[in-house]
Structure 1
Amino acid sequence: MSIAQPQQPTTGDEPRRPTVADHIVDRLASWGVRHYYGYPGDGINGMTAALQRREDTRFVQVRHEETAGFAASAHVKYGGGPIGAALVTSGPGAVHLLNGLYDAKLDHQPVVALVGQTGLTAQGGGYYQEVDLLSLYKDVAGFLAQLDDPSQVRHLVDRACRTALSDRTVAVLVLPNDVQDEKAVLDPPHAHGYYATSNAPSTRPTVPAEDDLRAAADVLRGGEKVAMLVGQGALGAEAEVAAIAARLGACVATGLLGLAAVDQREPWVTGPLGLLGTTPSSYLMQHCDRLLIVGSNTPYSEFYPPEGRPAVQIDIQGSQMGLRYPTQVNLTGDAGPTLRALDALLADHVAPTAWREDIAGRTASWRTGQLEVAQQAAEPVNPQLTLTELDARLPDDAMVAVDCGTVTAWYARHLHVRPGMLASLSGTLLSMGGAMPYGIAAKFAHPDRPLFALLGDGAMQMNGVNELITVAKYWKEWADPRFAVLVLNNRDLAFVSWEQRSAEGTPKFDASQDVPDVDYAAWARSLGLHGVRVDDPSQVGPAWDAALAADRPMVIDAVVDPAELMIPPQFTRDQAVKTAMSVIRGDSDWRGILRRGIPAAAATLLPHRG
């Protein structure tokens, strides 16, 4: 550990030597980092001063450090750069950041977090805001180090970026505030204990070995009913996914993070898999005879095929193979070139047709039923209608940011995302409060594209109302000012209520789940944005038309029915019995459960003519 020495006075004629903070910013720029999401504080004054001195980087001031973590993760997801960056101060700022970083870790996004710390001279003395950050970040970080000496700056930044990119994880650099202002050691001595490192990105395996590809082709060639599960690892390989699916006569289900890897309107695409997914996706997995997983680790193990079906998995990270299903062949490589190589080996394969016809019929039936349930009467507005009306209007260049809750289910079932669009959410952490920071990051990545943020009122109250201030701060800079925020205002933490009923058999706990009725549209207008309150089904379509034509961001405060029931694709007898028990035990909304549950279940579970 070194102690910062007093700086000697200089004359105005001497060139300014870059500080440690300057060198961090310079070195991160060489790795492609141009945006920093964060909130200032005296623990990072050296870093913010360095950013102020550099014209080709941007500090985006959000309202809370948790948002900075979410935005850094989303910056990569929406193609804003190879690495996301968060910059926060010491103590409480560092603690606040943690949740957003877990989103990046669990969804395998490369993020570098720069976290201020108490100065070296005061550490261990119980100074203001002194927190043991190395212990705090030990679990979330794939690489974690404190920068104690100027000679470390180059190799620690390089290793942080290389680890974040290679392992697709979070790297954290803890920066004591006195070290940030020390003069940088640009050329460490060529001596024992010092490092001169490289900022050239590491290559990675793009195509597996020929023998492994042939083994995978042999497994898939014998299938008459091939299912594919496609996730975020297939984004950018949309043409290759469609080509291999056609070659195999396969049908495709997707993880929530991989919706844009295929055209969700295609008859052979069944939609998302899992608790919030579709009935045809569940059928696809239960009745297939071969499985090809491409860039997905969807955690719902009960929705995978019964054990014993031959399976192949493709992923850029070998450590992610076979975690959800006992695969026979695991191919480590990029989805696009690996699928092209696999397709070439299957060039003589004759694809069966009966399987696709069967699945297409079931998928059409499901889609008809979902349109029917969205049109059913509710009190006052059916939340599913808000998504079907958006789906009919969604521009080809749309970006979508989705929060956690029942809105996730309606998004998964009603929004037919397609290649060319960008859509994401906190996929594995499933944290509330992700949609607004995701939307903000998406707009900084692509300011010329429209953004649609989909939230429940719980998430809007958690951080959405605050981050709408961030939108108001920056929207005039965006080439396309459209930032449409849909708030499903049902005055209830509805997903929690339904989980309590169907999993525990207990009535809704009003003291826990009721949330205040807030006029979100009026809040938007108070910030100089547009806002409209929708409390009648006839207003839904015109509200979306207004948002699409707006000259600034707009909030749609949709007053929707809290009793709208999300029917799982595998709605078990146990779930039905426990939901009934919650009614018998005096659920405060028992009338709504009966009013909406029966017609929603019929429209979801019974077959329809597609």
Structure 2
Amino acid sequence: MTEIVGESLARRLVEWGVDTIFGLPGDGINGLMEGFRRHRKELRFILVHHEEAAAFMATGYAKATGRLGVCAATSGPGAIHLLNGLYDAKLDHVPVLALTGMQETAVLGTHYQQEVHLDRLYQDLAAYNLMVTNPQQMPGVVDLAVRNALTRRTVSHLTFPNDIQVAPASEDPYRHVGPGTPPSSLTTCSDPPLRPVEEDLTRAAEVLRQGKKIAMLVGVGARHAREEVLAVADRLASPIVKSLPGKFVVPDDHPLTTGGLGLLGTAPSEELMEECDTLFMVGTSFPYGTFLPPEGHARVVQIDVDPTLLGIRRPTQAPVAADAKLALQALLPMLEPAKDRSFLEKYQRKMDTWRKDMKALQDPSRDPIAPQYLMGCVDEAASDDAVLTCDSGTIATWAARHWTIRGGREFYLSGNLATMAPGLPYAIGIQHAFPGRQVIAFVGDGGFAMLMADFLTAVRHDLPIKVVVNNNNSYGQILWEQIILGYPEYAVRHRQPEADFSAWARACGAYGAKIKDPKDLPGAIREALAHDGPALVDCDVNPNEPPMPGKVKYEQAKHFTEAFLRGQPHRAGVLATVARDKINELLS
């Protein structure tokens, strides 16, 4: 059988170690699908219900494994649907290859049906972006696309016109004045980790030696360097603050950490940033500059494997372009043990109080159910190596503060893009990669409803994901943003009836439970986690529970008050909830 371009693509992906493609077929990629079919023993195709979900699955798979995620979609609208999930991959620096279709070369430019010039559309998105127009480009362009995605930790995109997909891979339709491009040799992208330069480490050590109140800010770039982060923090007597994507770098109950930073972070972390005289950033280019020390108030040391991210937020006195683990290993012997540990001890006491306050909010007696209690029940029942995926919105606040990293637990969400709807497809992609681990999607009713059809994908592929829906019948984060900005809420709460997503789960042949009474919640969570297959718990929570910042600023309080004075439709319920939260904190 003559090898066609679609088959050449599939074979080369297999040679690169790709074993899974997430996607949705269409007539724009029939040639590619034929290639995948011919290699179906080595290359599994996960059929989804929406292309956006396919891109999220590939992104979640890449985030959790460090391997290349691959997704495929047909021409025109199919490829457009991929964009949101692919931008998530780009902004969070994970390697994903997108494969799309294009109309036949003979009709391009003639306003043919679904004609969208995807190579132009993807220009801002993909680091390597090409429309394949000659079979002789194979497999060299596949190699380039894969290498760019892996080495630059970003998105690559190849689009194939229909006639090229089914053309013989050896065909050369054009006359060339010179020899064609030979097939590229298959070389790995597992370059050794970037080692630090001695001079950079010396400068970093000198800045850190001069610091009296040092704060470490670590991100997901240090996920493989937990022991090194802890050792350096202990040597410097430095509290460890974590970015949200880097939540699982160190355990949440460790005495050296003050938890997250930002609107979803802790009050001790925010106060720490206001007081520190030295900021030591490791594996993060933390995007929210307003939460960092004011410019000029602290000297900065930054370690990042990507040199372009050094100094991007604050002037940096000691930039170190290197792998976090290698840099910290080399830096540790250059640091003297801190003699004064009072700064660390001060924030350890503050963090003890914060943890008690957060625990108090997990009140099982509250009705409607407090979302903090829902997350607390999941946290208590989940295994010590569980993976939690999360959507964007108020649920990210509950996960950030009430999902405890311990043991081998991990945590994934859309970091920089902060898009809705990745929680479910992330869980599917990660469960596929790690079939023996407990994978839990903690999602809101708004995000789950966007891509809920793909819960059926988990059922059909025997992926035992667990989904917990924090159902407040609204777009909660948008609601509170309106209030904090001083506007009365508008058009963000759904009308009755409330959705019952457990019915959808049962209709798919999975476990489904609807919870309205807090007494029923712990048992339902345990039963869902123990279920041998996909399971979903849809829990109605208090819609008036505000995701309060770790530290409320004057302007936020002012706008909040102004919005209530203008007339807040649910102000009685909101005020009652806030008052109850404060009472619980005082009694803790």
Q: What range is the shorter-chain TM-score in?
A: over 0.9
Who is 2:472 aligned against?
A: 490
Q: Whole-Å Cα distance in 1 between the matches of residues 559 and 229 of structure 2?
A: 40
Who is 2:404 aligned against?
A: 416
Who is 2:484 aligned against?
A: 502
Partner deviation per Cα, 1:231-270 (whole Å, 9 max, x = no partner): 1111111111111111211111111111111011112211
Q: Report SS of the residue matched to 1:487.
A: strand
Who is 1:326 aligned against?
A: 315
- In structure 2, relative to structure 1, the CA distance for the partners of 1:352 and 1:21 (3 Å cut) is farther
Contact 1:567 1:601 in 2 (8 A): no
Q: Whole-Å Cα distance in 1 between the matches of residues 84 and 376 of structure 2?
A: 32
Partner deviation per Cα, 1:153-189 (whole Å, 9 max, x = no partner): 2221111111112221111101111111111139999
How far residue 404 of structure 1 moved from its aligned partner, in angstroms, is: 0.8
Who is 2:162 aligned against?
A: 177
Q: Report SS of the residue matched to 1:367.
A: helix
Which is further off, 577-586 or 197-206? 197-206
- In structure 2, relative to structure 1, the CA distance for the partners of 1:521 and 1:351 (3 Å cut) is farther
Q: Whole-Å Cα distance in 1 between the matches of residues 17 and 168 of structure 2?
A: 23
| Match of residue 150, structure 2, among 154, 157, 165 | 165
Who is 1:213 aligned against?
A: 201
Who is 1:5 aligned against?
A: none
Partner deviation per Cα, 1:268-297 (whole Å, 9 max, x = no partner): 211111111111111121111211111112
Q: Whole-Å Cα distance in 2 between the matches of residues 312 and 555 of structure 1?
A: 45
Contact 1:111 1:169 in 2 (8 A): yes
Partner deviation per Cα, 1:119-148 (whole Å, 9 max, x = no partner): 112211122211111221111111111100
Who is 1:439 aligned against?
A: 427
| Match of residue 230, structure 1, among 206, 218, 237 | 218
How far residue 339 of structure 1 moved from its aligned partner, in angstroms, is: 1.0
Who is 2:243 aligned against?
A: 255
Partner deviation per Cα, 1:39-74 (whole Å, 9 max, x = no partner): 011111111111111111111111100111111111
Output the TM-score relative to the length of structure 2: 0.95
How far residue 552 of structure 1 moved from its aligned partner, in angstroms, is: 1.9
Who is 1:517 aligned against?
A: 498
Q: Whole-Å Cα distance in 2 between the matches of residues 143 and 351 of structure 1?
A: 51
Q: Whole-Å Cα distance in 2 between the matches of residues 511 and 264 of structure 1?
A: 33
Who is 2:384 aligned against?
A: 396
Q: Whole-Å Cα distance in 2 between the matches of residues 42 and 354 of structure 1?
A: 67
Verify: 1:94 aligned to 2:82, yes or no. no
How far residue 193 of structure 1 moved from its aligned partner, in angstroms, is: 5.9
Give percent identity, aligned residues only.
39
- 5 Å-filtered alignment, 1:48-67, equals 48-54=33-39, 55-67=41-53
Contact 1:496 1:513 in 2 (8 A): no
Contact 1:205 1:332 in 2 (8 A): no
Who is 2:457 aligned against?
A: 470
* Structure 2 residues not aligned, in runs of 5+: none
Who is 1:286 aligned against?
A: 274
Q: Whole-Å Cα distance in 2 between the matches of residues 142 and 73 of structure 1?
A: 16
| Match of residue 201, structure 1, among 171, 184, 188 | 188
Q: AA paired with 1:236?
A: H
Q: AA paired with 1:469?
A: L
How far residue 467 of structure 1 moved from its aligned partner, in angstroms, is: 1.4
Verify: 1:589 aligned to 2:556, yes or no. no
Q: AA paired with 1:361?
A: R
Contact 1:402 1:424 in 2 (8 A): yes
Q: AA paired with 1:173?
A: L
Which is further off, 371-380 or 214-223? 371-380
- 5 Å-filtered alignment, 1:25-64, equals 25-54=10-39, 55-64=41-50
How far residue 88 of structure 1 moved from its aligned partner, in angstroms, is: 0.7
- In structure 2, relative to structure 1, the CA distance for the partners of 1:290 and 1:513 (3 Å cut) is farther
Q: Whole-Å Cα distance in 2 between the matches of residues 361 and 196 of structure 1?
A: 62
Q: Report SS of the residue matched to 1:311.
A: strand
Which is further off, 145-154 or 323-332? 323-332
Verify: 1:529 aligned to 2:510, yes or no. yes
Q: Report SS of the residue matched to 2:245.
A: helix
Which is further off, 330-339 or 406-415? 330-339
How far residue 86 of structure 1 moved from its aligned partner, in angstroms, is: 0.8
Q: Whole-Å Cα distance in 2 between the matches of residues 513 and 169 of structure 1?
A: 37
Verify: 1:240 aligned to 2:224, yes or no. no
Q: Report SS of the residue matched to 1:87.
A: strand
How far residue 152 of structure 1 moved from its aligned partner, in angstroms, is: 0.7
- In structure 2, relative to structure 1, the CA distance for the partners of 1:506 and 1:350 (3 Å cut) is closer
Q: Report SS of the residue matched to 1:400.
A: strand
Contact 1:378 1:561 in 2 (8 A): no
- In structure 2, relative to structure 1, the CA distance for the partners of 1:515 and 1:377 (3 Å cut) is same
Who is 1:545 aligned against?
A: 526
Contact 2:230 2:256 in 1 (8 A): no
Q: Report SS of the residue matched to 2:424.
A: helix
Supply the RMSD in Å over aligned alpha carbons: 2.1
How far residue 29 of structure 1 moved from its aligned partner, in angstroms, is: 2.2
Q: Whole-Å Cα distance in 2 between the matches of residues 581 and 37 of structure 1?
A: 48
Q: Report SS of the residue matched to 2:204.
A: helix
Who is 2:252 aligned against?
A: 264
Verify: 1:295 aligned to 2:319, yes or no. no
- 5 Å-filtered alignment, 1:1-20, equals 16-20=1-5
Partner deviation per Cα, 1:58-110 (whole Å, 9 max, x = no partner): 1111110011111111111111x521111111011011111111000110111
- In structure 2, relative to structure 1, the CA distance for the partners of 1:304 and 1:511 (3 Å cut) is closer
Q: AA paired with 2:71?
A: A
Q: Whole-Å Cα distance in 2 between the matches of residues 515 and 95 of structure 1?
A: 33
Q: Whole-Å Cα distance in 1 between the matches of residues 345 and 528 of structure 2?
A: 38
Which is further off, 46-55 or 22-31? 22-31
Q: Report SS of the residue matched to 1:60.
A: strand
Contact 1:497 1:513 in 2 (8 A): no
Q: AA paired with 1:49?
A: E
Verify: 1:343 aligned to 2:338, yes or no. no
Contact 1:238 1:419 in 2 (8 A): no
- In structure 2, relative to structure 1, the CA distance for the partners of 1:511 and 1:57 (3 Å cut) is closer
Contact 1:262 1:419 in 2 (8 A): no
Q: Whole-Å Cα distance in 2 between the matches of residues 351 and 319 of structure 1?
A: 35
| Match of residue 155, structure 1, among 136, 140, 143 | 140
Partner deviation per Cα, 1:506-530 (whole Å, 9 max, x = no partner): 2111466658511111111111111
* Structure 1 residues not aligned, in runs of 5+: 1-15
- In structure 2, relative to structure 1, the CA distance for the partners of 1:436 and 1:44 (3 Å cut) is same
Who is 1:3 aligned against?
A: none
Partner deviation per Cα, 1:295-318 (whole Å, 9 max, x = no partner): 112211111112221111111111
- In structure 2, relative to structure 1, the CA distance for the partners of 1:426 and 1:263 (3 Å cut) is same
| Match of residue 136, structure 1, among 118, 121, 131 | 121
Who is 2:300 aligned against?
A: 311
Q: AA paired with 1:533?
A: K
Q: Whole-Å Cα distance in 1 between the matches of residues 227 and 177 of structure 2?
A: 49
Q: Report SS of the residue matched to 2:573.
A: helix
Q: Whole-Å Cα distance in 2 between the matches of residues 515 and 240 of structure 1?
A: 52
Q: Whole-Å Cα distance in 2 between the matches of residues 115 and 276 of structure 1?
A: 37
How far residue 402 of structure 1 moved from its aligned partner, in angstroms, is: 0.2
